[in-house]
Amino acid sequence: MQCNIKENDGRTVIAVHGDLDNEQAAKALRDTLSEILTSGKKHAVIDMSLVESINSYGIGKLLLFYKKFKDVNGELRVCSLKGHVKEVFETLMLDRLFRVE
């Protein structure tokens, strides 16, 4: 799993390439989101268009950083949910917590 960071209209967009279903992928996501917060950015969007699978490893990191962004009056959003990942978000009602684009 790999994360690419880019700026788009004043927002930080993290394109996730690969599945968020193991410890290494969750660590990569954690490191990327920590880097964004440490740099002082408060708003980020995670592009999930290339993620086909997510489990508790990935969900745990998303929830952890949802709170960390909220604590600094920021926001963490997700976009381009599809297939299994969209089903998981809907089943766990994460689509009510996160702003989904």
Cα 18 from Cα 41, distance rounded (Å) = 24
Query: CATH says 2-97 is which class?
Result: alpha beta
Residue 8: pLDDT over 90: no
pLDDT in tens, 22-79: 999 999 999 999 999 999 999 999 999 999 999 999 999 999 999 999 999 999 999 9
Domain residue spans in the chain?
Answer: 2-97
Kindly compute the dihedral angle of the four CA atoms of residues 2, 6, 78, 43, in this order, to the nearest 10 degrees: 130
Q: Is the pTM of this model over 0.85?
A: yes
Cα 73 from Cα 57, distance rounded (Å) = 25
Percent of the chain whose pLDDT exceeds 90: 95
Cα 20 from Cα 8, distance rounded (Å) = 23
CB 2 within 8 A of CB 20: no
